């Protein structure tokens, strides 16, 4: 397997930079929008969502509570008020309906940090590093829940880099950036896609929720795949691609069914053959009609 240092270059050449970056741009805008919902109050005096990602109140009517923090409070022995119960139920229902890991790639403020680390890692050609299994995160999740039950405190919230970063930016807690910086260094030098793909207990929790979500990526054009490996190079959860992309002979659905898929859509962006697309869970149509983009481009060149 040749290393892909600049994945998506071919797609950008074939389809234009905007098309080959559309989901990446959409995701950055989404992450910014979620942050601004919270930041517009303390920064500009326009109050939309008060609080942080661990618990918030939007327009004084919509309570939202992080279900993992809620679960830790329960395990720590606290009986929460209705507001938190309602808030956690709404969040859980929304992610169960859409796709649990959407939180990771479309909302979480750590995602741009780890994306940047992954990009730098490719550019600097740093070796894969510490070979953690993707399932390691479930052990971290178990450890976090055990700590809550044993200590009777929401212990993980002391160091949770996601809520700490939001708190830091929204409440001026200066340590907020430290966790994000450590994660950047961890992802850059220790383990590839280390935090989001192997360690983060919040991601692990949302992976567990991600069994019923409707939003999926489908490798519907897998017949066109020419093994350029660009999708593997950008995917933060590489193990999710193969079953769908290479499952034609085995009769496996082209839908990426693995619960670790964060529906970030980066594979859709970088694929020069436009093999992938967003769709709903039950749409296992396979698209074999379209000819290879590269063949078409080659034909054009030959004709000219």
Partner 1 sequence: MAAATKETAGFDPRRRRALKELASYCAGAAAITAFLAGVSGLSRPLPAATLRPPGALPEPEFQSACVRCGLCVRACPYKTLKLAELGDGPAAGTPYFLARSVPCEMCDDIPCVKACPTGALDHALVDIEKARMGVANLVGRDTCLNMQGLRCDVCYRVCPLIDKAITLQMTHNARTSKHAIFEPVVHPDACTGCGKCEKACVLETAAIRVLPLDLARGAHDAHYKRGWEEKKKAGQELVPGIIDLPDRLPSLPGAPK
Please report, as ranges, the residues that interact with partner 1 according to CB under 8 A. 41, 50-52, 54-57, 63, 65-66, 69-70, 73, 76-81, 83-84, 87, 133, 135-136, 139-140, 142-144, 146-148, 150-159, 163-164, 167, 170-171, 173-175
- In angstroms, what is the minimal distance from the CB of 302 to partner 1? 51
Determine phi and psi for 64, rounding to 5 degrees. Answer: -130, 135
Give the angle 18-242-209 at the CA atoms, nearest 5°. 85
- In angstroms, what is the minimal distance from the CB of 209 to partner 1? 18
Residue 3's Cβ-count burial label (10 Å; 0-12, 13-18, 19+) is exposed
Residue 42's Cβ-count burial label (10 Å; 0-12, 13-18, 19+) is middle
Beta strand pairing status for 49-52 and 62-65?
Answer: unpaired
Contact call for residues 269 and 23 (beta carbons, < 8 A) = yes
- In angstroms, what is the minimal distance from the CB of 147 to partner 1? 4
- In angstroms, what is the minimal distance from the CB of 164 to partner 1? 7
Determine phi and psi for 220, rounding to 5 degrees. Answer: -65, -25
- In angstroms, what is the minimal distance from the CB of 67 to partner 1? 11
**Closest-CA residue to 221 (of 160, 149, 288, 146):** 288
Q: Which is nearer to partner 1, 15 or 137 (CB)?
A: 137
Q: Which is nearer to partner 1, 11 or 154 (CB)?
A: 154
- Residue 29's contacts (CB-CB under 8 Å, 6 or more residues apart) are none
- In angstroms, what is the minimal distance from the CB of 70 to partner 1? 8
- In angstroms, what is the minimal distance from the CB of 222 to partner 1? 30
Tokens standing for residue 270:
């970088």
Beta strand pairing status for 277-280 and 55-58?
Answer: unpaired
Q: Which is nearer to partner 1, 73 or 234 (CB)?
A: 73
Q: Which is nearer to partner 1, 76 or 120 (CB)?
A: 76
Residue pointed to by tokens 């859980």: 92
Q: Which is nearer to partner 1, 131 or 249 (CB)?
A: 131
Distance in angstroms (rounded) separating the CA atoms of residues 212 and 215: 9
Q: Which is nearer to partner 1, 66 or 237 (CB)?
A: 66
Residue pointed to by tokens 């896609």: 193
Q: Which is nearer to partner 1, 132 or 229 (CB)?
A: 132
């Amino acid at each position: 397997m040749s290393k892909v240092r600049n994945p998506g270059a071919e797609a950008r050449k074939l389809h234009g930079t905007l098309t080959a970056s559309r989901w990446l741009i959409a995701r950055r805008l989404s992450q910014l929008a979620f942050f601004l919902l919270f930041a517009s109050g303390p920064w500009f005096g326009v109050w939309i969502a008060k609080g942080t990602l661990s618990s918030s109140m939007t327009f004084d009517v919509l309570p939202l509570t992080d279900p993992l923090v809620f679960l830790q409070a329960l395990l720590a022995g606290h009986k929460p008020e209705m507001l938190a119960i309602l808030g956690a139920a709404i969040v859980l229902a929304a992610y169960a309906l859409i796709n649990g890991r959407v939180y990771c790639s479309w909302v979480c403020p750590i995602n741009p940090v780890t994306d940047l680390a992954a990009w730098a890692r490719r550019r600097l050609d740093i070796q894969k590093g510490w070979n953690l299994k993707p399932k390691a995160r479930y052990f971290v999740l178990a450890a976090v829940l055990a700590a809550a039950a044993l200590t009777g405190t929401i212990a993980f919230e002391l160091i949770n880099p996601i809520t700490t970063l939001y708190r830091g930016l929204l409440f001026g807690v200066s340590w907020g950036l430290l966790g994000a910086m450590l994660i950047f260094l961890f992802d850059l030098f220790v383990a590839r896609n280390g935090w989001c793909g192997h360690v983060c207990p919040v991601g692990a929790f949302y992976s567990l929720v991600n069994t019923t979500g409707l939003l999926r990526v489908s490798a519907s054009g897998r017949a066109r795949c020419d093994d350029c490996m660009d999708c593997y190079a950008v995917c933060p959860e590489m193990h999710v691609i193969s079953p769908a992309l290479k499952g034609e002979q085995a009769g496996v659905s082209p839908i990426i069914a693995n619960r670790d898929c964060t529906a970030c859509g980066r594979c859709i962006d970088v694929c020069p053959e436009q093999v992938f697309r967003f769709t709903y869970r039950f749409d296992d149509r396979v698209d074999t009609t379209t000819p290879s983009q590269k063949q078409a481009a080659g034909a054009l060149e030959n004709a000219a």
